[in-house]
Structure 1
Amino acid sequence: MFTSAGSFEGMWYIFVIIFSLSRVGARYENVNIKQDWWETAVFYQLNTRSFMDSDGDGIGDINGITTRLDYLKELGVDAAWLSPIFKSAMHDFGYDTTDYYTIQPEYGSMEDFEHLLKKANELNIKIVLELVPNHTSNESEWFLKSSNRDEYYSDWFIWESGHLDNMGIRKPPNNWVSVFRKSAWKYMANRDQYYLHQFGESQPDLNYRNPVVVDEIKNVIKFWLEKGVAGLKIPSINYLFEVDKDLYGGRYPDEPITGRPGLGPDDYVYLEHVYTKDQEETYDMVSQLRDVFDGITIRDNLTRIMMTEADTTIKNAVKYYGEGAHLGAHVPFNLGLIGELNKESDARDFKYIIDRWLTYKPLKKPANWMIGNHDKSRVSSRFRPDLVDALNMLILLLPGIAITYMGEEIGMVNGFVPWSETKDPLACNTDDPVNYIEVSRDPVRTPFQWNSGKNGGFSTAERTWLPVADGYESLNVASQRSAVRSHYQVYRTLTNLRIRPAFRLGRYESLSLNNDVFAFKRWYNDDTYIIVMNVGKRDRIVNLTAFDLVFGQLEVEASSVLSSRTYSDNVQANRLDLAVDEALVLRMQV
């Protein structure tokens, strides 16, 4: 019997600690939990055209990638995801495919690609290709035959007749607007009809209500999986279907106007896109495509993964995981960190965006994290250069899959591409030599910076397809490789850390310790880590004992480049001072 309230409280406190620890241990009794290769992988997105030029023509290529696989291996990369390499008219640099079964000649040959696969396999690096099935090129054989009303291909694309206005002028079928601005309909005189293009006018949409089209896309997927790729990434998946026009009397309806000020009918956000994306049929189609991946997986006893990208709401995005017996994508991209965080975001925003995905996704499906890609301003430019290490800690140490866009591991910044050298059709379609830069994706696609030599070591050409970013002489792989502390060195430390059970298997908890400091805890059994970062603009002092069972001293496992702390330094859990942009990985001392 307890003799006093104080002793009772003391014993109760000890009981709570013992009970909590027993629960943590019980959660992971099986230390040999089986995980498939992709479930905790580090994926590295590289822009084929900008990664490495092997033949001196100023354009990156497949052989260039092959020569740099060792670099990916030393980074700790598990899989390389290549931007489109299929034969293309190159109006949108591979996103306008003319032949899904052939390699774009300026990137190399099928033999070159097979050599890449062989070398990657030797290094245990998986290769993932990007496949664009929403549309082809208007120069593809499929489209040319369809435009000539070939009996077999006639219904492979979305064709409509349009109408004449009161002045007798031909008008598109409705008010639909392309993602690249202006009407989503293009007139073809030889067919006397308009075709739908939800992106550039050189990119006609395929008709997924035609089962022959669906079968052909499944054949394309089989071809590349049987060739030996580990998976395919499918962009713009939520554009595969438009509304069924039979529900509207055989005519595609106008989309409603948003009413936002300062917009005109040529602007994509002028309309609410209720009929041209996020249609329910899309989820069934994803399930059908997943069956193709699973068929090859079962045959070869090696998982081939389907990665999908949909810029949509959180509820729509997580539906791509599939429901019940209908499996969806292995990796439906989580675009929250890319689309909703910027230099003005505070610790509460970070916590909200991260925890939201973990809350909405299916419980037993792996999360995935990316902070940059080839369509969005680079991390160093979108946030601040000194925050790069903190953001790499996020994607590499949060639970699940990490996806890095090339150059983020060294903190590359946006390049400047003048109007005269602009290649991005999204920017060119603004017809605006002053404000084009606001939408241009060229600055984030400039050549990779390998060293301080000519063209940053990317190419021996006199002129590269896009200019190399200013400052490459000091910001490059070679200089960061040789430095004692650099973004590159931090990144390698983090990929080594994520192999530990606490990061592969461990649980997760997060806190916004104040408006500036975000922290999260990862733990497995009695191995506990705290990742803490000051994303604000002033120094802060925080108390990490706000996390359950965190106390005493913590040891530094990794620190951002400008941090005053280094490996094995000790800090006090109850009082930690953090400089602006400082980020630390701390381990509980047992």
Structure 2
Amino acid sequence: MRAALLLVVAVLVGTVVSVDVWWESAVVYQIYPRSFKDSNGDGIGDLNGITQKLAYLKETGVDAIWLSPIFLSPMYDFGYDITDYRKIAPEYGTMDDFDALMSKAKQLGIRVILDYVPNHTSNESEWFVKSAQKDPNYSDYYIWADGKTDPEDPRKLLPPSNWVSVFRKSAWEYSPVRKQYYLHQFVIGQPDLNYRCDKLREEMKEVLRFWLEKGVSGFRVDAVNLMYEVDPAKFGEVYPDEPVSGTAGTTPDDYDYLNHIYTRDQNETYDVIYEWRALLDEYNDKHNESKIMMTEGYTTLPNMMRYYGNKSINGSIPLNFAYLEELKNTSTARDIKMVVDKWMTFMPTGKIANWVNGNHDKSRLASRYGINRIDAMNMLAMILPGVTITYQGEEIGMTDGYVSWRDTKDPQACNTDDPMNYWRVSRDPARTPYHWDSTALAGFTSGNTTWLPVADNYHTVNLAAQVAAPKSHYKFYKDMVALKRLPAVRAGDLDLRALCDSVLVITRLLPGQSAVLGIMNLSGGEITVNLSSLRLIPQQLTVEASGVNCSLDKGAQVQKHSIQMPAHCALALKSSQICC
């Protein structure tokens, strides 16, 4: 594994420039701005609220914050429908507020990563308005196509193809202005950009440069594998129908009804990511740091790996959705080992792994895995090599909140034809406001209401209570962040063993350093763990982090042949002697 500090030899004047590759073993904390902290009492989280809480994040030890979209938007999809990439949404604040956040973050040593949404804009964007008007400067910025004549009614137009939106129903919408259909793979208000237009590709690079000039440390890139559609020139200048998938229980209005061979994972996508990586690298010397780029692509593992690049071209860090989606609350130690091993095996040599326990699109960690696995899953993401990505609230074990049909805001839920089952697809429960304390509305706002309801359990599950408690999920999380700074975790070899279905042992070894171990007991009963088979590990070990279900306290000494692990205990240890 590469060291956290990469020395780049600059040919210019024979100098050596030190570029900080800070992200190789970083903790990245995702903030969903609407739900983190409201500073002005309007019930919506904002930039000033984030700035107010940067000290908390510094105390916790995170390296960087990743902000879900903060740009000007009509908020049909809460910021993922962008009107102007260079302006701040007024409910979040102003550009001055953003600059103040950047200044405070820099002062505290916290880096800022922005969510970049390149697949689509809002239909209220000036680009789209002018494209609909066939302004020659913007005409080709979006995917436009003529409709088909309805064979049963020649006066009626049908969409250009059978393509379906991720949010259900046709992915095509008719524009009476342009008299053509435009493609939207998400909501109607999110028209897809056309990356076969060279001018548009350069425009999107300028967006990246704008924020890099403001000093951001990188980007999380949204929905990358939907950026390109098949080239219509290969099909007589038409967009072909996608084949039916055969997925049981789906209808032609459902996204899973089709096999998306023409709208996802096109080869050209990777070239754009490689171009953006090269653009970010241009700023290495200017800011004395390497810029991180993480890409979101829900796709196959081999396709994810292509985003890393190859021997001659650097790419991005593909977000590890194999880890996020394949692990369940019933996963055994062997299941977990297989999922981790699979990523490490497929990952190209010299690249950096990442571990994603949750995000704004998925049910929260504590709800997906169960409250007894909160510490185990946080420990695993911290002790494995590479980048740890934490979604806000995971450090205190927040669960999904209840959001009624009346209060539902998520377009993915609102588009359902079955209001009785909206909750099955709603992402709102994972987006409810952060629990700062047990005061009214969880200390999230000084106002009388919140944009989504606060979860009912905030009186007991909140940060203030966990800071005050002798032992808590938050204190365990914070101890694990500190442990991630140790040389063995930053750069050591990984040894992962499932001793049985219930016990997983993660070992990090680096010659000349203390070994670091994580042990999780996934069962409902106490187990005595014998690590004598780990011959490189010294006999005596010190407890460095002890989960809420563990009986041992931090600082306790144990012998490796006999470690008591109560039910659902997650324990992190360090060797008292140098190993290897």
**Highest CA radius of gyration, 1 or 2?**
1
Is the contact between residue 516 and residue 537 of structure 1 (CA under 8 Å) also seen in structure 2?
no
Distance in 2, matches of 1:589 and 1:303, equals: 34
1:404-443 matched pairs, under 5 angstroms? 404-443=390-429
SS in 1 for 2:478: helix
Q: What is the root-mean-square deviation of aligned Cα atoms in Å?
A: 1.7
Q: Indicate the residue corresponding to 1:18 in structure 2.
A: none
Deviation at 1:427, TM superposition (A): 0.6
Is the contact between residue 177 and residue 184 of structure 1 (CA under 8 Å) also seen in structure 2?
yes
- Alignment of 1:102 onto 2:84: no
Say which of 131, 134, 137 aligns to 2:119: 134
Q: Indicate the residue corresponding to 2:550 in structure 1.
A: 563
Structure 1 residues 31 and 37: CA distance shift in structure 2, 3 A: closer
Deviating runs (4+, > 6 A) in structure 1?
30-35
Q: Indicate the residue corresponding to 1:144 in structure 2.
A: 129
Tell me which moved more, 424-433 or 216-225: 424-433
Q: Indicate the residue corresponding to 1:401 in structure 2.
A: 387
The aligned amino acid for 1:364 is G
The aligned amino acid for 1:157 is Y
Q: Indicate the residue corresponding to 2:476 in structure 1.
A: 490
SS in 2 for 1:434: helix
Distance in 1, matches of 2:79 and 2:368, equals: 26
Q: Indicate the residue corresponding to 1:210 in structure 2.
A: 197
Distance in 2, matches of 1:551 and 1:102, equals: 56
Q: Is there any run of 5+ residues in structure 1 with no aligned partner, and where? A: 1-26
Say which of 154, 157, 179 aligns to 2:166: 179
The aligned amino acid for 1:576 is I
Distance in 2, matches of 1:91 and 1:389, equals: 35
1:380-529 matched pairs, under 5 angstroms? 380-526=366-512, 527-529=514-516
Q: Indicate the residue corresponding to 1:360 in structure 2.
A: 346
The aligned amino acid for 2:213 is E
Q: Indicate the residue corresponding to 1:379 in structure 2.
A: 365
Deviation at 1:538, TM superposition (A): 4.0
SS in 1 for 2:83: strand
Is the contact between residue 39 and residue 366 of structure 1 (CA under 8 Å) also seen in structure 2?
yes
Deviation at 1:551, TM superposition (A): 6.0
The aligned amino acid for 1:99 is D
Distance in 2, matches of 1:133 and 1:272, equals: 23
Say which of 316, 327, 343 aligns to 2:303: 316
Is the contact between residue 544 and residue 551 of structure 1 (CA under 8 Å) also seen in structure 2?
no
Deviation at 1:589, TM superposition (A): 3.5
Tell me which moved more, 219-228 or 260-269: 260-269
Distance in 2, matches of 1:224 and 1:559, equals: 40
Is the contact between residue 225 and residue 304 of structure 1 (CA under 8 Å) also seen in structure 2?
no
Deviation at 1:32, TM superposition (A): 8.6
Residue deviations 1:474-522 (CA, integer Å, cap 9, x gap):
1111111111111111111111111111111111110111111111111
Distance in 2, matches of 1:554 and 1:116, equals: 42
Is the contact between residue 159 and residue 194 of structure 1 (CA under 8 Å) also seen in structure 2?
yes
Residue deviations 1:85-131 (CA, integer Å, cap 9, x gap):
01001000000000011000110000010000001110010011101
The aligned amino acid for 2:160 is P
Structure 1 residues 472 and 588: CA distance shift in structure 2, 3 A: same
Deviation at 1:461, TM superposition (A): 1.6
- Alignment of 1:86 onto 2:71: yes
The aligned amino acid for 1:348 is R
Structure 1 residues 81 and 32: CA distance shift in structure 2, 3 A: closer
Deviation at 1:397, TM superposition (A): 1.2
Deviation at 1:196, TM superposition (A): 0.5
Tell me which moved more, 391-400 or 566-575: 566-575
SS in 2 for 1:557: strand
Deviation at 1:170, TM superposition (A): 1.9
TM-score under structure 2 normalisation?
0.94
Q: Indicate the residue corresponding to 1:250 in structure 2.
A: 237
Distance in 2, matches of 1:143 and 1:286, equals: 23
Is the contact between residue 551 and residue 574 of structure 1 (CA under 8 Å) also seen in structure 2?
no
Q: Indicate the residue corresponding to 1:16 in structure 2.
A: none
SS in 1 for 2:361: coil
SS in 2 for 1:322: coil
Deviation at 1:344, TM superposition (A): 1.4
Structure 1 residues 522 and 33: CA distance shift in structure 2, 3 A: farther
Distance in 1, matches of 2:274 and 2:538, equals: 47
The aligned amino acid for 2:166 is V
The aligned amino acid for 1:230 is S
Distance in 2, matches of 1:373 and 1:33, equals: 30
Distance in 2, matches of 1:212 and 1:46, equals: 32
- Alignment of 1:170 onto 2:169: no
Tell me which moved more, 73-82 or 524-533: 524-533
- Alignment of 1:534 onto 2:521: yes
Distance in 1, matches of 2:341 and 2:249, equals: 34
1:27-176 matched pairs, under 5 angstroms? 36-168=21-153, 169-176=156-163
1:326-345 matched pairs, under 5 angstroms? 326-329=313-316, 331-345=317-331
The aligned amino acid for 2:116 is L
